[in-house]
């Protein structure tokens, strides 16, 4: 136990230095800088999930900007949606969106979520995220880098 404590003390903080805050007002200003987020994989290849995991890990630490992942849409202020929306996921995505209390926001992560990306016109794809639910923030990239995901989340929290 003592060794672990010494190691923690020696290592210190590993998070990247915080980039400066944008002058733009927060999209979710009414939430006071704290946004609870439910992630929905609507048909992703899981590349975007790897980067989301990294964005919330100790190096990029999205939680220090007020973004926090939660397990239920009923506890969430925003959805973080990845992938093109497959036919099987269109209705669950719609229902998950409806389960969020007002005010609610949607962040589409990755090119598939924005415009179906490499899966455009695939037989199992119903459309992009904005074809199923309203989208407030889009984060480009295949997959987007963790810094870009954190940047998109900061647009919501304003921190
Ligand atoms: S944007 Fe790229 S990494 Fe993300 S789900 Fe689509 S193919 Fe996968």
* Rounded-to-integer distance, Cα 95 and Cα 83, Å: 17
How many domains does one find in the chain?
Answer: 1
Q: Is the CB of 117 under 6 A from ligand 1?
A: yes
Can you give the pLDDT at residue 2? 87
What is the mean predicted confidence (pLDDT) over 32-43?
A: 95
CATH number of the domain within which 75 lies:
3.40.50.12280
Can you give the pLDDT at residue 120? 93
Does residue 107 form part of some domain? yes
Would you say residue 13 has pLDDT above 90? no
Alpha carbon of 66 to those of 28, 43, 110: distances in Å?
A: 11, 27, 21
Q: Is the CB of 111 under 6 A from ligand 1?
A: yes
What is the mean predicted confidence (pLDDT) over 37-59?
A: 96
Distance, CA 131 to ligand 1 centroid (Å)?
17
Does residue 52 form part of some domain? yes
Q: At what angle do helices 146-157 and 47-55 cross, to 10 degrees?
A: 60
Does residue 76 form part of some domain? yes
Q: Is the CB of 29 under 6 A from ligand 1?
A: no
135-154, pLDDT tens digit by residue?
A: 999 999 999 999 999 999 99
57-116, pLDDT tens digit by residue?
A: 999 999 999 999 999 999 999 999 999 999 999 999 999 999 999 999 999 999 999 999
State the residue range of the domain holding 125.
Answer: 29-157
Does residue 6 form part of some domain? no
Q: Token pair for residue 86?
A: 């497959």
Distance, CA 54 to ligand 1 centroid (Å)?
15
1 pLDDT tier (thresholds 50, 70, 90): confident
Q: Say whether the peptide bond before residue 18 is cis (omega within 30 degrees of 0).
A: no
The alpha carbon of residue 30 and the mean position of all alpha carbons in its chain are separated, in whole angstroms, by 19
42 pLDDT tier (thresholds 50, 70, 90): very high
Segments of 1-159 assigned E as strands: 35-41, 67-69, 78-82, 85-86, 105-109, 125-127, 137-139
* Rounded-to-integer distance, Cα 131 and Cα 11, Å: 46
Which spans in 17-122 are helix H? 47-55, 87-99, 111-115
What is the mean predicted confidence (pLDDT) over 35-49?
A: 97
């Amino acid at each position: 136990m003592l060794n672990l404590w010494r190691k923690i003390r020696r290592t210190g903080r590993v998070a990247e230095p915080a980039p400066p805050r944008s002058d733009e007002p927060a999209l979710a200003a009414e939430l006071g800088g704290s946004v609870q987020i439910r992630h929905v994989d609507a048909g992703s290849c899981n590349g975007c999930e790897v980067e989301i995991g990294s964005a919330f890990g100790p190096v990029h630490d999205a939680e220090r900007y007020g973004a926090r992942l939660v397990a239920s849409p009923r506890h969430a202020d925003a959805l973080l949606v990845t992938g093109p929306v497959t036919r099987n996921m269109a209705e669950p995505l719609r229902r998950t969106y409806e389960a969020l209390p007002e005010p609610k926001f949607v962040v589409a992560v990755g090119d598939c979520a924005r415009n179906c990306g490499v899966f455009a016109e695939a037989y199992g794809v119903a459309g992009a995220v904005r074809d199923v639910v309203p989208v407030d923030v889009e984060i480009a990239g295949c997959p987007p880098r963790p810094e870009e995901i954190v940047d998109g989340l900061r647009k919501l929290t304003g921190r």
